[in-house]
Amino acid sequence: MVTCSHLTRNYAARPGSVAGIVDVSLEIPAGEFAVLQGPSGCGKSTLLLTIGGMLRPESGTVSVGGTDLYSLSASQRAEFRASRLGFVFQLFHLVPYLTVRENILAGMSTTQARSLASSVDSLIHDLGLSDRRNAHPGTLSAGERQRVALARALARKPALILADEPTGNLDPANAQLVFQHLDRFRRQGGAVLVVTHGNDAAPFATRTFRLESGRLVQNPSLLPA
């Protein structure tokens, strides 16, 4: 589903210093739940942004479902992102003045929102948000906010969901719930890449990666069962 070849993105001004990612190649087929780990500052968010089409690498390619992301124009890439990729962030990134349902539909065209209306309603139900559908994010718990963000990502029926420390602000029960929904998505043929600190995603991982100083290394501590 997603293939990265020799991705390098260096922010460093000083020659020889490394801040970013270096020569990263990886593959996440459809139906896989990949977990990316590594110490703070090792380049995890940089890699996710690059795979998500939001940060052009200095060299290397990202291919999602056969489409070479950075050979697209900026507007084609934005459209590809909106229709094929889902994003979930640690700080949720919800729009405060929109309701739960409006947040989930935000950014869709009227036609798209209309065609997805009934599946969005069942998603709201599946994620336990029926009672909160007209609430604003400021009145929700952290767990509810992340479920809204998850619904927003899933509603577009993406091929790949990228999640950057999605459970960083959640209690263990809500964290498990988020992983369970991502697990269901990948069982239905989606691909998932989750950046996470702890081992809480381990039971769901079908493959794991570890970054150190921008480079992909073996991850012996967290292997698929």
> Closest Cα to residue 74, out of 94, 92, 53?
53
Binding site for Mg ion (CB under 5 A): 44-45
Judged by CB under 6 A, the stretch of 43-51, 112-120, 131-139, 169-177 that binds ligand ADP is: 43-51
Q: Which of residues 45-74 bind ligand ADP (CB under 6 A)?
A: 45-46
Q: Does 44 bind ligand ADP (CB under 6 A)?
A: yes
Q: Does 43 bind ligand ADP (CB under 6 A)?
A: yes
DSSP 131: G
> Closest Cα to residue 200, out of 164, 173, 220?
173
* Number of residues near ligand ADP (by CB under 6 A): 11
Q: E strands within the chain?
A: 2-10, 20-28, 33-37, 59-64, 67-68, 85-89, 160-164, 191-195, 207-212, 215-217
Build a one-symbol-per-residue string for 160-189: x at contacts with ligand ADP by CB under 6 A, - elsewhere: ------------------------------
Q: Does 109 bind ligand ADP (CB under 6 A)?
A: no
Q: Does 150 bind ligand ADP (CB under 6 A)?
A: no
Instruction: State the nearest-atom distance from the C-beta of 43 to ligand ADP, in Å.
Output: 4
Token duo for residue 30:
């459809």
- Neighbouring residues of 193: CB distance < 8 A, sequence distance ≥ 6: 2, 28, 34, 36, 48, 51, 160, 161, 162, 163
Q: Does 75 bind ligand ADP (CB under 6 A)?
A: no
C-beta separation of 164 from 130 below 8 A: no
Judged by CB under 6 A, the stretch of 36-44, 99-107, 140-148, 172-180 that binds ligand ADP is: 36-44
**Residue 191 to residue 213: CA distance in whole angstroms:** 25
Q: Which of residues 15-34 bind ligand ADP (CB under 6 A)?
A: 19-20
Instruction: State the nearest-atom distance from the C-beta of 1 to ligand ADP, in Å.
Output: 22
HSE at residue 48, side-chain half, CA atoms within 13 A, is 27
> 218-222 long-range CB contacts below 8 Å, 24 or more apart?
219/37, 222/35, 222/37
Q: In the complex with Mg ion, which residue's Cβ is closer, 124 or 201?
A: 201
Q: In the complex with ligand ADP, which residue's Cβ is closer, 130 or 218?
A: 218
Instruction: State the nearest-atom distance from the C-beta of 19 to ligand ADP, in Å.
Output: 4
Three-class DSSP category at 133: coil
Where along the sequence are the contacts to ligand ADP (CB under 6 A)? 11, 19-20, 38, 40-46
